[in-house]
Amino acid sequence: MNPKSIFAAEILEQPLAMQRLITLGDTGIKNVASAIRSRSPRYVMLVARGSSDNAARYGQYVFGAYNKLPVALATPSLFTIYHQPPNLQDALVISVSQSGQSPDLLAVMESAREQGAMTVSITNSPGSPLAQLSDFCINLRAGEERSVAASKSYTNSLLALALLSTHLAQDEKRKKEILRIPEILAGVLPGMDKILSLAAEDRQTQAAVVIGRGFNYSTAFEIALKLKELTYLLAEPYSSADFKHGPVATVQNGFLVIAVIPEGKVYNELTSFMEQLKLNAPRLIIISPLKQALDLASFPISIPAGIPEWLSPLVAVVPGQMYALGLALARGINPDHPRGLGKVTLTN
């Protein structure tokens, strides 16, 4: 297969986009981290919508685990509908947005500034209203993203958050781990044709669950979002822990389950859970570097071994993007122009 779509081309651009952010943006991110340390915020509030909100979920884990900061996701309607914003004094408020235009995100950042909080925007549009409202702007440098569905702006958002965390902690070991990611991701791209063919086999599927845990909780949300917006499939994301509390009853013969199982602390729990699910004969797609997990799958998707768990979301999400692309094409849907959606979504 050689899909002629903007989304396909932008999937393939992700290693270069990541390298560009590292090469051109790292010094600026280091300066932002230095300014944050001088303010010693008590907690972080992340502000985002859509794919950027899934990147923010990754930020919850990164800043919590490595910077020991409590992290909350903003509730924009408290600012825009109820006009009862929470107290943001002593907070670090970080907004993640591809376009930097959505009014609800702007309202949160404006209130944060009025309350004296430190504000940082992470955006692919450094001239946007969001960037202008912020004390500091981190330019994603993903290049123009023309497809409605985010790909390279999403993975560069993860990368920006990872870089900010390492510089905030002044952690050179983790910084060196980041430098390997563009090359590792480039090694995943040749598998696109195989994944597109796999997706075509599922063209009649009506519902699915996507399971991840820990750092890849965000990956489950992002893959599920790609499936919903590109293929119109009813796909729901879960952590394995939440899925056991009731939704597991949905799994039966042929039901589509997509699981992300990285190396690291969640590996044993997720693999054991997939062994249990397999007894109900689902259509099981597993994204993992490890043979024991891949052997459980109806269709295994192998990613490179040796990726630190905290960075695995930057790689593991890409096969999910490819699968969503393949399913859209198999269903006769234009992946660049899904119904009812535009590139910039303005919400209040």
Domains of the chain plus CATH, in order, are 6-183 (3.40.50.10490), 188-330 (3.40.50.10490)
Residue 1 has pLDDT above 50, yes or no: no
Residue 343 pLDDT grade (very low, low, confident, very high; cuts 50, 70, 90): low
Q: Is the dihedral of CA 17, 339, 235, 326 positive or negative?
A: negative
Residue 216 has pLDDT above 60, yes or no: yes
Distance CA 254, CA 270 (A): 20
Confidence at residue 19, expressed as pLDDT on a 0 to 100 scale? 98
Mean pLDDT of 132-140: 97
Residue 300 has pLDDT above 50, yes or no: yes
Confidence at residue 237, expressed as pLDDT on a 0 to 100 scale? 97
Confidence at residue 163, expressed as pLDDT on a 0 to 100 scale? 98
**Closest listed residue to residue 99, CA positions, set 38, 140, 44:** 140
Mean pLDDT of 286-303: 97
Residue 114 has pLDDT above 70, yes or no: yes
What are the tens digits of pLDDT across the range 178-207?
Answer: 999 999 999 999 999 999 999 999 999 999
Residue 346 pLDDT grade (very low, low, confident, very high; cuts 50, 70, 90): low
Distance CA 226, CA 235 (A): 9
Percent of the chain predicted with pLDDT > 90: 91
